[in-house]
Amino acid sequence: MATATLSPADTDKLSNLKSAVAGLSQISENEKNGFINLVSRYLSGEAQHVEWSKIQTPTDEVVVPYDSLAPTPKASSEVKSLLDKLVVLKLNGGLGTTMGCTGPKSVIEVRDGLTFLDLIVIQIENLNAKYGSNVPLLLMNSFNTHDDTQKIVEKYKSSNIEIHTFNQSQYPRLVVDDFLPFPSKGQTGRDGWYPPGHGDVFPSLLNSGKLDALLSQGKEYVFVANSDNLGAVVDLKILNHLIQNKNEYCMEVTPKTLADVKGGTLISYEGRVQLLEIAQVPDEHVNEFKSIEKFKIFNTNNLWVNLKAVKRLVEADALKMEIIPNPKEVDGVKVLQLETAAGAAIRFFDKAIGINVPRSRFLPVKATSDLLLVQSDLYTLQDGFVTRNPARANPENPSIELGPEFKKVSNFLNRFKSIPSIVELDSLKVAGDVWFGAGVVLKGKVSIVAKSGVKLEIPDKAVIANKEINGPEDL
């Protein structure tokens, strides 16, 4: 605990907070201790300051090019022995609210009536069936997604994979005015609480008992990824490399495009590899941080971590990741959430590396514009894997900007009779009351912005190439 460096005022704050938290019956002792520890670190100003002059670009030994990895073993018995050391863990704490959906985001239908979770299960089922392996699936839920997820996983009972769920911690939001927990001031519903970011995956694995159970089954590595990243599939070359080289931690990174300039990047710093996030960058260096020339790669949040190392570091309370303060307002009350990110843990593990992977391993669906990409002819779906259509010449995906009329999944689906062909599209902007017919083809740079009060219907089988459309007369 970092109480030694606290001012008298902060010591009082922490003492009052401890008393209040002790009275919260909804959470475990582990959660209470974890929360107080986090707040104590926050109050002591333990923020990690980066000295810009000490930052070095990582070498190929530290950020390994994917193409330099050894090929996967040919014999299926060797592949089976690799897979039997693996656990797949999907971060499943997020709700689909930003896309207008209720319940966990992982149950949004992505393609052909299949949800994120369906695709994940199909992928692992196929792996286990092909090699006779037993790769289990773990879902880390939050208190927001737990009940729904328990019901949803029932439908996979007959599959050939073990599915385990566990909850990440539940921490009380802090009221900014008096630094007391929101639930002890009358906010007894869900709004009084928050899940403290995916950095919590490591202590939660241990506290839930899952970590010890996996170690006793001979599991060695966990592949952690966001449930909405369709590119985060098991990669045998990566797994083989980590086992051969005894790397305790691996972060998949991929080359930045202009869309990723805010993403965290890997740096070499004082002899260790670590994640540098935009929040840690001094103001005068932000533009440099965003430059694709200087910082060429960013974190995909696909992480491979050695389970024994997780146990060692969590038990030693050594994972002191940078704290991300997240201020919010709930019912007119200003509150604070303190969070951590799993990628920031890289600097605490031995022989930690990055692997510079192809962009295909980063295909997140954060908004309906991403859904348009993955539901279109730009991708195909086979055995649960979403693969890019080789007919597209441009290695980059088209940029897509959809107006607020398309923000909710239900509205988005209603406005397209069928998803247009976009294999030859460079960019698309759609705004206003626009409706698409079936079999529409979009090519080049297309802008369809309906004038206010005008309903604009794109007819069936229309081919629109390098065109700006503002009304029916432009079609």
- How far is Cα 122 from Cα 116, in angstroms, rounded to an integer? 10
- 366 assigned to a ligand binding site: yes
How buried is residue 19: exposed, middle or buried, by Cβ count under 10 Å (0-12/13-18/19+)? exposed
No. of H helices and E strands in the chain? 12, 27
For residues 283 and 269, give the distance between their C-alpha atoms in angstroms, rounded to a whole number: 19
Question: Is 198 annotated as ligand-binding?
Answer: yes
Q: Tell me which residue of 57, 52, 35 sits closest to 268, measured CA to CA.
A: 57
Cα separations in angstroms, 451 against 33, 447, 469: 56, 12, 10
Secondary structure class of 16 (helix, strand, coil): helix
Instruction: Quote the tokens at residue 319.
Output: 């994972």
Does 256 count as an annotated binding residue? no
The span from the CA of 63 to the CA of 295, in Å, is 13
Q: Write out the H or E segment, with its range, that includes residue 43.
A: helix 29-43
Q: Known binder of ligand: residue 285?
A: no
Q: How far is Cα 86 from Cα 89, in angstroms, rounded to an integer?
A: 10
Phi and psi angles of residue 52, each rounded to the nearest 5 degrees, phi first = -55, -40
Query: Which bin fits 112, alpha (ψ -120 to 50), beta or left (φ > 0)?
Result: left
Q: Is 146 annotated as a binding residue?
A: no
Rounded distance, CA 466 to CA 200, Å? 47
CA-wise closest residue to 82 among 128, 19, 151, 13: 128
As a whole number of angstroms, the distance between CA 143 and CA 166 comes to 10
Sign of CA dihedral 227, 229, 232, 233: positive
Residues at the binding site for substrate are: 198
Residues at the binding site are: 105, 168, 197-198, 228, 366
Residues at the binding site for UTP are: 105, 168, 197, 228, 366
